[in-house]
Structure 1
Amino acid sequence: MRFLPSVQFIEQSRVADEFVAPAAVLANRLLDAKGLGGLPPCSVSYFIEELHRPGAAIGLHSKGRANVRLNLAWLAKLAQQETAPEWEVAFVILHEYAHFVLELLEAREVSPGATRRRIEAGHADFLRRMSHLGWLADPVSRKLLSNHNAIAEEWYCDAFAYWVAGTLPEPHAEFFYELLAGVRFPPTS
């Protein structure tokens, strides 16, 4: 991996492509392994941050397609690290893709709002369980207790990424198997 100053990194989009490509491959491989490879593909593009929020990503979806736009300033910051942040980029891609999957689930529901109610109940159940476990919970569960995840949809998106990666502990992983049963196919081998 080449380490470039932020300005050079942003100007050379092919560097961003090289930086993100392994993470996109990882995200797609994980989705396929969970039986979600039959869902519409996710494309990744970039934008230059104007709001000075270096961690921002945008999930756009229309006409059955998902496009995740990653913040080049955030990617430039990651590129300065000495470790390859493949999982960190893949996690953001999966988090944004989870918003797209939520839209698909909502389009299929018979009763409007049913999917969001299930997610809110899953979030409440998670918070209840974690309040009993305190800080003895595993590292993934501790990350899911962040202020960012105080909103049920954001908790769902982060938990979706961990579930796809196979690191979300039970019984929360079972929640995703049940929630996504209607869009999953047998995983490819």
Structure 2
Amino acid sequence: MERSHAGQPRAERLRLLGVYLNDHLGGATFGTDLARRLANLPHEPGTAESLRRLAAEIAEDRAHLLDIMKRLDVPVHRHKVVAGWMGEKASRLKTNGRLVRRSPLSLLLELEMLRLGVEGKAAGWRTLREAAETEPNLSKGLLDDLLERAERQRDLLEKLRVEQAAHVFASDRATERA
């Protein structure tokens, strides 16, 4: 049976929040690197612009997370940042049916990974929004804005993901009609 943590001293709540935020920082590092890499690949003009804007926003979100950690006096655990960075590099090693060049499946899987990361980020903003009810160093307005932006990012990624899935798995007849 799990015991209640209600009424914990503020120092203990901040310690737990520090662990939580550092875990999210590792994920934010992974997501920022992945978004930048996707934005730098060749795409259709509209997709390229959307991915460039998205990568910039994701980098800004990571900067906001670092600022929140600073305001809460939460130290950055470098090993979490390095783990996120290494995780993004390792994600490139996935099998995609081709050894030398990118497969259309690569972009689909990367869009799915990024979408899952944005979902995790949104969950983190929701958690911080809840903590803002009792933590004066957290801005409810900022967290509401970050959550709204994460939801827009999720919607964009879902649109791009569906388009890429249709491209990857379109039949020859569907391609001829297009």
The two structures have a TM-score, normalised by structure 1, of: 0.28
Structure number with higher strand proportion:
1
Structure number with higher helix proportion:
2
**Structure having the higher Rg:** 2
